[in-house]
Structures are given as structure tokens and as C-alpha cells.
Structure 1
């Protein structure tokens, strides 16, 4: 019934707005006061919610440093599991990463590279650890796609996983530099170009 659907939709919009305000408040306060100088209560007050409500959205202040990373990584893992079993491993990983890029905004993807670049090194440390953990999980998933008799299967899987993610990081760094120069480059197209370059490196033309 419409009367039952509307309140549910309104609740979802309110939840999204609260989450947005918490993230906005964290970004503003971290830059203004520093990470250590900002409390959960400060962030909650910015969003005009209670501390208890804050913890319904985030498990800690640290969780605000890379809020969508876990969601993106989980999306990549799911997308990879949906790729055809006979697809080349590097192609499968690149296509999974491209599929994951579409639902997320350019600003969210950029946050994976430098979420709040002007604040303490704890952000960089968390980011590095998040990528490292995901590289390990992705390596395991790639290795499962390799034939059982593949020589150096663990090494090959690690190279494929790390090369693909390095291409993503290269895109993010390039985007950041281009934005600083006033050049716009958004959407998944840069990833397509980066993966094309990666394939060129792996399969150089021979005379």
C-alpha cells in the first residue's frame, strides 16, 4: 500500500542524509581541528544527532577515514565471483574492478587514494592497510581461478591482483594531479584506459 511504502522511503532518505552529514562533519572537523582533536561527540553535534545515533552508522571515529572502502572491496569480490570461469584471470579482475567503479561516485573512488589528505598520517596508514588486506583477499580469489597445475600459481595470482590494483591507484593519483591542474577526468573511462595500458605492458608488440 502507498501509505506503507512512503514512510519506509522517507526513513531511508533520512538515514542517507544523516550519514552524509556525519561524513561531512568529520571531513570539516578533521581538517579544522585534526583527527586527535575531534571527538565523536563533535561529529555527532555537527550532524545534530546523539552520540548513540553516531554509533548506529559507524563503529568508531576511525571508521570515518575510509567509510566506503569495505563496501567497494566487497563489491569487487562479488563482481569477480560473477565473471565467467574461462575468462583470463587478469581480464576477470579488471572487469570486476570496472563493474565496481560504476555504482560509486568519483569522489568516493578518489577517497581511496587520499581521503582527507591534509590531516594526520593515521589516514594514510589506514588506507595502506586496507589496500594491503584487500590485495591478499584478491590474490586468493585469483589463484582459485587458475588451473590447478599452474606453475608458481601463488606468485602469478599475487602479480595479477597487485598489478590490477596498482593500475587503480595510478588512475586515482593521476586524477588528483589533473584536478589540481584544472583538468576534469571522471567516470570509469580512465580505468578502461589504465587497464588497456596494463595489457599493453603484459603483451608488448613484437617486430
Structure 2
């Protein structure tokens, strides 16, 4: 990364950290964009070059997770099935994401208690599912149609979301334990798809 990129990354992280602290201390509704910018020692206008709103600050890794899925699909091997590439994407994004960061804990809490945050979380989830499902259907036209691609992606995203809601509801100190639990949850959710796509591939050979 260039010096400019490193400075932007530090400022972005400072905003995320400031937001997490202020949301916990002042509450979500009691915290403004100006408060977060001041805590990060930048101007309010500069805040908007990093995040569109304080809701967006709660979901800093949303785009990275979609990119991880797209990269896993694009780099699939000849023996990989749709479920395989989704599980690989999870391993990549879980490894690169701080699952125990303060913002992750605040996000789960605020999704439960603040309608605006819950609505934004649902929109991000639905948008991600649509993008990933479209890529899967394009990559595996012999195994998935748009409906089955959407169903598979929904099972995957639902397993991750549900597991994180439970895991981060209480104090968690072991990131590896969280990653292992996510892997278990998605293995359970995608097991029928792994068997289904394997049988379908065998029947066509």
C-alpha cells in the first residue's frame, strides 16, 4: 500500500473504532456523525468520503465479503461444486475479518434494538445474496438455475448470519472458536447441497 492508502486505512479504522465506542457509551440515537468525526479527529465532511452514514459505518466489511465470494467462484477448480466455493469464501473472509472487533459486537446489538440498523442489515444481506446467487448461476449453469442458486445462497448467508447473532450475543474471546463454529454452521446448512450437486454431476457423466 502507498503512504496515502495507509493513511486512509488508518483514518477509516479510527472512524470505525470511534463509532463503536460512542455507540456503546452514548447509544446509537445519541451519537451523530459529527460526534464520530470529532472523536476520530477529522472534519464531518471528511467522514462522508469514507462512509455514507453512521449506519454504513456498522458494516465496514460488507463489500469485502461479496468480493471474497466472487473471487472464490472465479478461481474455482474443475472439481469444485457451488457449495465448495461458498465454503472457501467463508474461510477467506473469516480469516481476513476481525470477528471479535468492537464494531462487530455493537452491530449485533444494534440490529436487535434499532429498526434503522436492522433494516440496513437486511438490505445488505439481500443485496449480497442476489449478487452471489447471480455469480453462482453463471458459473454453474449445468447445476444451478436462478432459483436453486438463490436457495443455496440463502442457506449459506442465513447460516452465517444466524450463527454470528448467537456467537456475538455474549462475551467471546477466541476468534478461532468463532471461525470453527461458523464452519460447522455452514457445513450443516450446505450438506444437502453438497450431496445434491455431487449426485447431479455423477448422473451427467
| Same structural fold, with TM-score higher than 0.5 when normalized by the shorter chain | yes
Unaligned residue ranges in structure 2 (runs of 5+): 197-205
Measured in 2, the distance between the counterparts of 1:105 and 1:185 equals 8
The aligned residue for residue 83 of structure 1 is 76
Distance 1:20 1:92, change over 3 A: closer
* SS across alignment from 2:24: helix
Equivalence for 1:140: 134
Task: Give yes or no for contact 1:25–1:47 (8 Å, CA) kept in 2.
Answer: yes
Distance in 1 (CA, whole Å) between partners of 2:70 and 2:192 is 25
1:151-186 deviation digits (Å, cap 9, x = unpaired): x72221112111111221233133225x44x67463
- Helix, strand or coil at the partner of 2:107: coil
1:123 corresponds to: 117
1:135 to partner: Cα distance: 0.8
> What SS does the aligned partner of 2:130 have?
helix
| Residue in 2 that maps onto 1:20 | 13
Could you say if the C-alpha distance between residues 147 and 19 of structure 1 is closer, same or farther in structure 2, counting changes exceeding 3 Å? closer
Residue correspondences, number: 192
Runs of 4+ in structure 1 displaced over 6 angstroms? none
Does the C-alpha gap of structure 1 residues 109 and 89 become closer, same or farther in structure 2, counting only changes over 3 Å?
farther
Give TM-score, length-normalised by structure 2.
0.76
Question: In the alignment, which residue of structure 2 is the partner of 1:168?
Answer: 160
Task: Tell which deviates more after alignment, 113-122 or 136-145.
Answer: 113-122
The alpha-carbon distance between structure 1 residues 133 and 114, as it changes in their structure 2 partners (threshold 3 A), is farther
Corresponding residue of 2:86: 93
- 1:1-207 counterparts in 2 under 5 A? 8-9=2-3, 11-107=4-100, 111=104, 115=107, 117-118=109-110, 120-148=114-142, 153-177=145-169, 179-180=170-171, 184=174, 186=176, 188-201=179-192, 203=195
Going by fraction, where is helix more abundant, 1 or 2? 2
Across the aligned residues of Structure 1 and Structure 2, the Cα RMSD in angstroms comes to 3.1
* SS of residue in 1 equivalent to 2:59: coil
TM-superposed deviation, 1:115: 1.0
What is the TM-score with the length of structure 1 in the denominator? 0.75
Question: Aligned partners of 2:72 and 2:34: how far apart in 1?
Answer: 37
Bigger RCO of structures 1 and 2 (CA < 8 A, at least 6 apart): 2
Between 27-36 and 55-64, report the one with greater CA deviation: 27-36
Cα contact 1:27–1:116 (8 A) shared by 2: no
Q: What is the rounded CA distance, in whole Å, between the counterparts of 1:135 and 1:44 in structure 2?
A: 32
